[in-house]
Structure 1
Amino acid sequence: MNLPEKYLASMKEMLGDDFESYLNSFDDTRLYGLRVNNLKISTEDFLKISPFKLKPIPWIENGFYYEEDDKPAKHPYYFAGLYYIQEPSAMTPANVLPINKGDVVFDMCAAPGGKSTELAAKLDNTGLLITNDISNSRTKALLKNVEVNGDNKICVLNEDPKQIKDRFSEFFDKILIDAPCSGEGMFRKDNKLIKAWEKTGPEVYAEIQRSVIMSGAEMLKPGGMMLYSTCTFSKLEDEETIKYLLTNRDDFELVDIKPYEGFSHGFEESDSDKEMNISKTVRIFPHKMEGEGHFVALLKKKGELDPDNNIHFVNPGFNNKVPKEVTDFLDSFNFDYDSKYINIRGTYCYLVSKYMQEEKGLRIIRNGLLLGEIKKNRFEPSQALAMALKLKDYPNVIDLDVNDERVVKYLKGETLDCDDFTDVKNGWVLIGVSGYPLGWGKFNNGQVKNKYLAGWRWM
């Protein structure tokens, strides 16, 4: 691998005697990881049905290494949202940030959504997760991933954080910033990043990171926690960014991260660094752990959150008249909702978190759970609603065995013959695999007209 001389010199200075071990790690076999979605299934239950050769990631409770020939992205359980494919070290930030049920959380630079899906699982459909990315094209993947995950207390934004920091001043209990970076920690995984580094190096990204982390500081409540992470080794982007925040905001302090064998401390190079406790930050090096390069820092905004009065904004609700066909459908099965938080936009219906601010002035990709669409006095439920349900919640279900060839046919958008399901009634039917929803169909005398979302189909 043709690594730039400037990069090699900086790594040699940083690592000293460990430099050769780091270079030797480029010869190691690439690692692949998946993280179990505990919003849908416990880790224990997933291991009972997993068809893959899995090995635990020691510092991630629901993370596992898989073998390349497993191909988990081509398995029905992936389409059911039972796990998310993610590089092992990249699982660390969302794992480290402590989330309590009922928190209002911001994932500031979220696409494609791996960290958001874990934050949502920790929230367990309580509170609110606002997940954001500045790139409009990348938010499309972000939206799909959080919907496959089954999240229903979400808002997906497409904003520059510095443009909305005043709108959300001291609004969030927790913030995760997986900042845009030069990607040095991923050179081993994807050597195309080397050319990008040569064009846009740490100096460019450091300016972006300082803007982003200072915006996060404005949006965090006193007593709240903020997690900053990158997938680069550059001190300019890592320790120096944290020092920039602590120098300019004396209301922030670093917090200890639970140690794990192989974690390295951040570099302290001066008395000022020691006063700031920079060694509390964590570095992951590929020659010391089974993962790519990562940097993680956990910060607290001084003050205390009052558990009896958490000062969450509460939306008074919407003045929409919810059509009867919508409430009739939602009332026909086990689905907990408050009709005053159903927002009608055009023909589409959304169930919005009561903690979400007004939409006006925000570039919103999705606010709340898309329930479905009203079409000529009938209601058509959405793919997102199907993924947010449990099979036991809906009265009309076709649950297929994972080895049934009709599972893949359904995911490809084909019509199904299901006359062996004699208890199923004509009308909307929730299609599942091994007890977990995949999407909707229309059942009529033994046949299922496929309603699986076209953009999600098995290719």
Structure 2
Amino acid sequence: MKLPPVFLEKMERQLGSEFPRFLQSYEQPRAAGLRANRLKISPERLRELLPYLQERVPWCSDGFYYNEAEVRPAKHPYYYAGLYYIQEPSAMLPAELLQVGPGERVLDLCAAPGGKSVQLASQLGREGLLVVNDPHPQRAKVLLKNIERCGIVNAIVLNETPERLAAAFSRFFDKILVDAPCSGEGMFRKEPEMAHRWSEQEVAKYSAWQASILAAVPAMLRSGGEMVYSTCTFSGEENEQQVDRFLSAHAEFELVGMRRLWPHEVKGEGHFAAKMKHVAGHTRGSESERAAAIRKPQTPPVSAAARQAIAEFSRQVWGYPDLWRQLLPAGGTVVERSGHLLWESDELPPLRGLKVIRSGWLLGTVEKGRFRPSAAFALGLPPEAVQAAVQRCDLSAASEQENYLVVRYLRGETLQYEGNVWAKGWHLVTADGFPLGWAKGAGTWLKNEFPPGWRWEDGEER
């Protein structure tokens, strides 16, 4: 692998006697990892289902190594069911370092494609609020897809600048993750094209950009709150020096801890993470002011037609017209926005003027008096809701014949069982009890309702 000479000179000065080992790491195969999604499955159970998983990632209890030359976890139905997220092992460090707890308000400021967001959501559970944001529209759409596929119901997906978020979320968050855009030096082995684009000018550009992002953070963090700043680069200008500048400009923050992962020392690529805390003694507003940050806007009422439509859907799937309400998390409200039915957290602040990709858990849409459930609704259902479904098509990813049917479903094809007759109406489709999406019964056929943008494509890796 050809690395820029100026980069190598810089790394030799930075690492000294460790430089030969660092250089040798580029000749070694990189480590591959995936992380169990605790919203759906425990790491222990996932290991039983995927025997090719190797040892745990040391800095992430939910993470595992695997041999990417032997297996392709992105081509397994469990991937589509959101049981795990494929993630470079070192990238699992920042969210683990933040130590999010259930019920907290959390911001992932530079979130796409969403791996760290899913990790934070696993720590939150179905409590509290997760705000995920990316300023790039296309990346924000990818972020939304991963949030929904992984069954996260208490998330808001935004497409905004840090400055506009700071104006809308004054002293709102308990925890903030800033996984900042960077020069990507730590990813050269994984993505060699990044090495071709590298220059000292790029490092300076990213350093200025990171400083502007960090400048917006203090206004959004409550007194006593914590933040983690992270990058996937080796550059001191983007790491320790960036942290030093932030702490010098904000005396109300203190450094809690800082860690680097080097590819010649661990099974993973390069990563940096620093945890900082707002010192409670530097008051920035009382708890009453913090509570006032939520000025609940007028909730759009759910129309009678929409209530009737989703009740009929609930009767088809669960046998009872009102059972769908019991499946929703506590601490939220169902709203109707332009024909879309969503469950929104009561923690939701006013979002007026912000670019909102999704304001809550999308249950589905109402079209001509009929309710059409979303794939996000299926994937966010708790296990008891899945078990309670009376109209369900449960396929097996373990059985060769039925795994073929699972793949057909994920490709968007119509399903047919010889001798089977499917009742009219909506059916929940699952793989070994884990929800994938919906289908409609039509006698001997099941009409596929898996969304086009989510479908299995031959040869595709994610």
Match of residue 313, structure 1, among 286, 294, 312? 294
Measured after TM superposition, the shift of residue 332 of structure 1 is 3.5
Determine the structure 2 residue equivalent to 1:441.
Answer: 439
Contact 1:155–1:366 under 8 Å retained in 2: yes
Q: TM-score under structure 2 normalisation? A: 0.89
Q: Classify 1:371/1:289 alpha carbon distance in 2 versus 1 (closer, same or farther; 3 Å).
A: same
- Aligned counterpart, 1:32: 32
Partners of 1:199 and 1:454 lie apart in 2 by 42
Deviations, residues 214-257 of structure 1 (Å, cap 9, x unaligned): 211211111111011000011000011111110010000111xx
Matched, 1:293 2:273: no
Residue segments in structure 2 that go unaligned for 5+ positions in a row: 315-321, 458-462
Deviates more, 1:434-443 or 1:164-173: 164-173
Q: Are 2:437 and 1:454 equivalent residues in the alignment?
A: no
Matched, 1:359 2:351: yes
Deviations 1:38-88 (A, max 9, x none): 110011111111153433212210111111121000010100000000000
1:213, 1:319 → 2: CA distance?
35
Q: Deviations over 1:140-192 (max 9, x none)?
A: 11010010000001111011102221211111011000000000111121110
SS of match in other structure, 1:34: strand
Within a 5 Å distance, the mapping from 1:399-438 to structure 2 comes to 399-402=394-397, 403=399, 404=402, 405-418=404-417, 425-438=423-436
Question: Counterparts of 1:264-283 in structure 2 under 5 Å?
Answer: 280-283=257-260
CA contact (8 A) 2:378 2:438 kept: yes
Q: Which residue of 1 aligns with 2:319?
A: none
Kept in 2: contact 1:182–1:200 (CA 8 A): no
Structure 1 residue matching 2:251: 3-state secondary structure: coil
Shift of residue 438, structure 1, vs aligned partner: 0.4
Q: Which amino acid letter does the alignment assign opposite residue 387 of structure 1?
A: L
Question: How far does the alpha carbon of each residue in 1:305-329 deviate from its partner, in whole angstroms, 9 at most, with x for none?
Answer: 9999873736366141342225514
C-alpha RMSD over aligned residues: 2.2
Contact 2:300 2:337 in 1 (8 A): no
Q: Which residue of 2 aligns with 1:145?
A: 146
User: Cα 1:356–1:78, aligned 2, differ >3 Å: closer, same or farther?
Assistant: same
Given the alignment of the two structures, is residue 214 of structure 1 paired with residue 215 of structure 2, yes or no? Answer: yes
Return the match for 2:379 from 384, 387, 393.
387
1:426 CA drift (Å)? 2.7
Structure 2 CA distance for partners of 1:53 and 1:45, relative to 1, 3 Å:
closer
Identify the residue that residue 370 of structure 2 maps to in structure 1: 378
Residue type matched to 1:392 in 2? Q
* Deviation beyond 6 Å, 4+ runs, structure 1: 304-310
Alignment of 1:47-66 (within 5 A): 47-66=47-66
1:110 corresponds to: 111
Q: Please state how far the C-alpha of 1:421 moved relative to its aligned partner.
A: 6.0
CA distance in 1, matches of 2:287, 2:100: 17
Rounded to whole Å, the distance in 2 between the matches of 1:87 and 1:395 is 39
Shift in Å at residue 99 of structure 1?
A: 0.8
Is the 1:317–1:354 Cα contact (8 Å) retained in structure 2? no
Residues 397-422 of structure 1: CA deviation (Å, up to 9, x unaligned): 11111131211110011111136667
Partner of 1:261: none
Give the 3 Å change call, closer, same or farther, for CA 308–397 of structure 1 in structure 2. Answer: farther
Deviations 1:278-332 (A, max 9, x none): xx31111011111100000011111189999873736366141342225514524
Deviates more, 1:394-403 or 1:218-227: 394-403
**Alpha-carbon contact 2:332-2:344 (below 8 Å) kept:** no
CA distance in 1, matches of 2:388, 2:229: 38
Aligned equivalents of 1:361, 1:445: Cα separation in 2: 48
Output the CA distance in 2 between the equivalents of 1:292 and 1:121. 23
> What SS class does the counterpart of residue 216 from structure 2 fall into?
helix
Q: How far apart are 1:199 and its partner, in Å? A: 8.0
One-letter code aligned to 2:337: R
Residue 455 of structure 1: how far off its partner (Å): 0.7
Which deviates the most, 75-84 or 334-343?
A: 334-343
CA distance in 2, matches of 1:132, 1:394: 34
Which residue matches 1:324?
307
The 8 Å contact of residues 76 and 407 in structure 1, kept in 2 or not, is answered as yes
Question: Whole-Å Cα distance in 1 between the matches of residues 280 and 243 of structure 2?
Answer: 19
Cα deviation for residue 7 of structure 1 reads 1.1
Aligned letter for 1:398? C
Quickly say closer, same or farther: Cα 1:302–1:340, change in 2 above 3 A: closer
Q: Secondary structure at the match of 1:201?
A: helix
How many angstroms apart in 2 are the aligned matches of 1:230 and 1:205?
11
Within the alignment, does 1:341 sit opposite 2:322 as a pair? no
The answer for the alignment partner of 2:318 in structure 1 is none
- For 2:157 and 2:279, the matched residues in 1 are separated by 28
Q: Distance in 2 between matches of 1:371 and 1:313?
A: 24
Specify the SS of the correspondent of 1:61: strand
Identity percentage over the alignment?
42
- Cα shift at 1:196: 2.1
Aligned partners of 1:252 and 1:299 also within 8 Å:
yes
Aligned to 1:173: 174
Give the whole-Å Cα distance in 2 for the aligned partners of 1:117 and 1:130.
Answer: 11
Counterpart in the other structure of 2:12: 12
Is this contact kept in 2: 1:419–1:447, CA < 8 A? no
Is the 1:314–1:354 contact (alpha carbons within 8 Å) kept by the matching residues of 2?
no
Match of 2:243 in 1: 242
Structure 1: runs of 5 or more not aligned: 256-279
Show CA shifts across 1:259-287 (max 9, x none): xxxxxxxxxxxxxxxxxxxxx31111011
Partner of 1:264: none
Asked whether 1:131 is paired with 2:132, we answer yes
> What is the match of residue 275 of structure 1?
none
Residue 232 of structure 1 aligns with which residue? Answer: 233
- Change over 3 Å in CA distance of 1:139–1:199 after alignment to 2: farther
Structure 1 distance, partners of 2:286, 2:424, is: 49
Relative to structure 2, which stretch is displaced further, 406-415 or 322-331? 322-331
